[in-house]
Structure 1
């Protein structure tokens, strides 16, 4: 059976009911890289990141072959989950072989097609790995990690997708092949894997999703991994906006047009959204591909930024600001320190905090602008900054809470007390395991985005079942390996791989942090690479009061009282007397500190808060920054 195709003009209306209302708010009127960055902000927000080992089970939802010739044999009710494999699927007739979800290859090589399937990273793991360490969330992202024939997967290796030339090294049963690269315009001369036309659009939209989803990290990936463009397999060009080599972008745009979005992709997009809580925007709106990668840069280098100055000097950071270039096609700015040829940071703004500096040290800085053609300006003026000997800020991020609770109740709270905004893209969580008497680091979880000064966030295992904290409250929700700790492992917050910032437990030893909640003492204001138990208060298993910065019971009770609430105990309504007209928000909070109800401008037209649906018990009514205890009968 041919796959079900919808004309492109109908795709948006066909699936609009599946796109959450307001999901793409803010994209109207945007084009080019501005649209790409906005889409990144949308699809990178509040994802649920699952473990690599979870994917086999999720493929039973996302990748069933019910679109071609397996409709009658695919019967989940009796455990017969036939998976769709784009590397072996024959759209016009019966496949040469098929796979049940149980036929996952474990490890080692395989001798031919049709023997087992495995998890294929359409963007190879080598792109975002650190040596032998695979990095989450990229490692298990369902939008480009798919089930395919194991033998073909091994033959593909790390070769890019592309147009195969006259020299064919492997031909596979559905017509896909590995050959020498003949993609027009590419300097690369190695091997490529060319899928059949039926799936070229699927591949293109998956790769372009990667370019949008991980904007902000792309320059840190293993782009230009080859010693010359001729043997560079990644095709990433190190830019955050364009992402791929221009000729490769041209090919992906052609594949997107050649193979329109199918019903299979639409269904898969909706199912992955139910699992990961984000979407592939190019399945929802395939026209965005051309709209984003449509920039026509000029050939003139931009003017240099001017008036670079030091706005603030502290012990471990300085704040820089400058007057922007006058050019209209500026993408961003590169910051250089002490005359180095490689920038230490980039930004789209005209100010930045440069952190991780040494106290009582003099530094020099310059800035260059770069435009949509990635042409760079001359350097700005030189700004000199001397860090002071000490200040009241933390030198780096700190782990402030650690919960090793029952089953999957795992949570780590991290706080920024540095005095400035911190870019999280350079930070990761690591975990160490043991094998006999040897210890080794396993897969890592990379943080992303930014955190403001004095902001606190939580990394939470998605299978946690706390009564006082939920997935929706956490900034990062991940079942990655570091968030499966048992209390005996060493877990660290690190900078750029394995530069330890803060840690729980000691390296290369069996720790004793199981079934315990550790809260950093308020007197501790600096992270440390060596765990010291005396810096922490210990609480019972699953204790998570005030996790993520919610108010503690102590905080609530000691709030100043300026209003009167009545009756107390309350039955159906709680009334407030006093000057209530300026109150911006009312919240009801339980004794664990969990916010269970919020109402904006609560007393604009009334004087009461309904408590009719609350279970009996003790609660707090928080009116802006003041809180009052009450009893619900």
Structure 2
């Protein structure tokens, strides 16, 4: 049997109907949901409706294009979503040298960050008609066509999961994300033990899990309630909303993590804030009477878990409406803080490989839903910033 395998190091999706790329000004005036290829200069990264930064890029998730490389007015910029498949090559954090380059981007003309935009992008290329590299193998014969610029096209990807949320912002985005992530398989509290042995497996030792606050690698089998065992830490303290270990928020592994029994007890139901005294058995953590500061390596992880909970549990399904606030000592109220600190930690500690793998494993093997703020960190500022 003859098989044909196409290996695309770079593919280009042309403009609809073979049309030439449109200008940024034209794209801004045609926010009608049509697919188009837009040509413009990369002039920065949008971080809010009226804010574009030109240095210190916080992520690889968005570009701002303009018809002039020196444009500074956001009203003359098009905000472009960099979908997951393109971030390594076309994100500004990873590729700051893109600033000032002229590019062609194919996507859907529609609002992004509540601003004229191009979303659900399917192709990126440097302007100038680069020829794609395509290698086709049929039996023993291989042919290759060269390219003069890096271009990439991968349809779909994780952004298919978020299709109903793309282009939205603020409360509308929060509502759309809730509608997506509420569709999940609910685990029992006993099932959480086995899930954590997979989601938090030590990459350097598959027999161990990594404890959230202390950072210690510990045997998967050393779980329980004895001193120096690890147990199930509710990052959104289960008393904040009084959901306990109920199936749902009390068993949602997007915010449940392995932790040393005594460290878990020391954290208790405290809110998150900066400062305090060094926490016993958890180097780099600090605590006082009403707050806990985790070690630097997981500050962003903690923030994103709380962001997830505040969107996932909106008062339906018999559970409290969980919300962030900018306070500590929230007690049994369905609030968790301090939001301003969490947003800062989120920016300082972006998702790493461990957190991204964890998100994927929870989706694929346990709950079937995702943490949007691991996949799209920029959404936190859009909702709470």
How does the TM-score come out when normalised to structure 1? 0.35
* Residue in 2 that maps onto 1:12: 84
Higher RCO (CA-CA < 8 Å; seq separation 6+): 2
Q: What does 1:54-69 align with in structure 2 at a 5 Å threshold? A: 54-66=191-203
Give the deviation of 1:161 after TM superposition. Answer: 1.7
157, 162, 171: which is aligned to 1:33?
171
Give the match's secondary structure for 1:289.
Answer: helix
Distance, in Å, in 1 between the alignment partners of 2:189 and 2:209 is 17
1:171, distance to aligned residue in structure 2 (A): 3.9
Contact 1:209 1:280 in 2 (8 A): yes
Match of 1:277 in 2: 368
Structure 1 stretches of 4+ with a deviation exceeding 4 A read: 14-21, 217-220, 234-237
Residue by residue, what CA displacement relative to the aligned partner does 1:292-345 show, whole Å, maximum 9, x if unpaired?
114xxxxxxxxxxxxxxxxxxxxxxxxxxxxxxxxxxxxxxxxxxxxxxxxxxx
2:237 matched residue in structure 1: 124
Which of the pair has more CA radius of gyration? 1
Map 1:456-467; keep pairs closer than 5 Å.
Answer: none
Q: Secondary structure at the match of 2:231?
A: strand
Q: How many residues align?
A: 238
Q: Which runs of 5+ in 1 are unaligned?
A: 1-5, 76-80, 90-94, 180-189, 238-243, 295-633
Greater strand fraction, Structure 1 or Structure 2: 1
The alignment yields a C-alpha RMSD, in angstroms, of: 3.1
| Bigger share in helix | 2
The aligned counterpart of 1:44 is 182
* Aligned position for 2:53: none
| Cα distance per residue 1:52-97 (max 9 Å; x no partner) | 111222223211111xxxx2xx24xxxxx210112111xxxxx5xx
Q: 1:232 to 1:61 in 2, by over 3 A?
A: closer
Whether 1:82 and 2:193 are equivalent positions in the alignment is no
Give yes or no for contact 1:211–1:218 (8 Å, CA) kept in 2.
no
Contact 2:242 2:332 in 1 (8 A): no
Query: Secondary structure of 1:49's match?
Result: coil
2:315: which partner in 1? 216
- Of 350, 355, 371, which residue of structure 2 is paired with 1:265? 355
The equivalent residue for 2:224 is 105
Correspondence for 2:266: 155
Which of 230, 254, 277 is matched with 1:143 structurally? 254
* CA–CA separation in structure 2 for the residues paired with 1:207 and 1:191: 17
Partner of 2:114: none
Deviation per CA, 1:602-631, whole angstroms, max 9, x where unpaired? xxxxxxxxxxxxxxxxxxxxxxxxxxxxxx
| Residue 205 of structure 1: how far off its partner (Å) | 0.2
Whether the 8 Å CA contact 2:290–2:329 is kept in 1: the answer is no
Separation (CA, whole Å) in 1 of partners of 2:283 and 2:230: 15
Distance in structure 1 (CA, Å) of the matches to 2:239 and 2:255:
14
CA distance in 1, matches of 2:262, 2:58: 34
Partner of 2:102: none
Structure 2 unpaired stretches of 5+ = 1-56, 62-82, 89-153
- Preserved CA contact (<8 Å) 2:304 2:374: yes
Q: So what's the TM-score if we normalise by structure 2?
A: 0.56
CA contact (8 A) 1:18 1:270 kept: no
Q: How does 1:122-201 map to 2 (within 5 A)?
A: 122-129=235-242, 134-165=245-276, 168=277, 170-179=279-288, 190-201=289-300
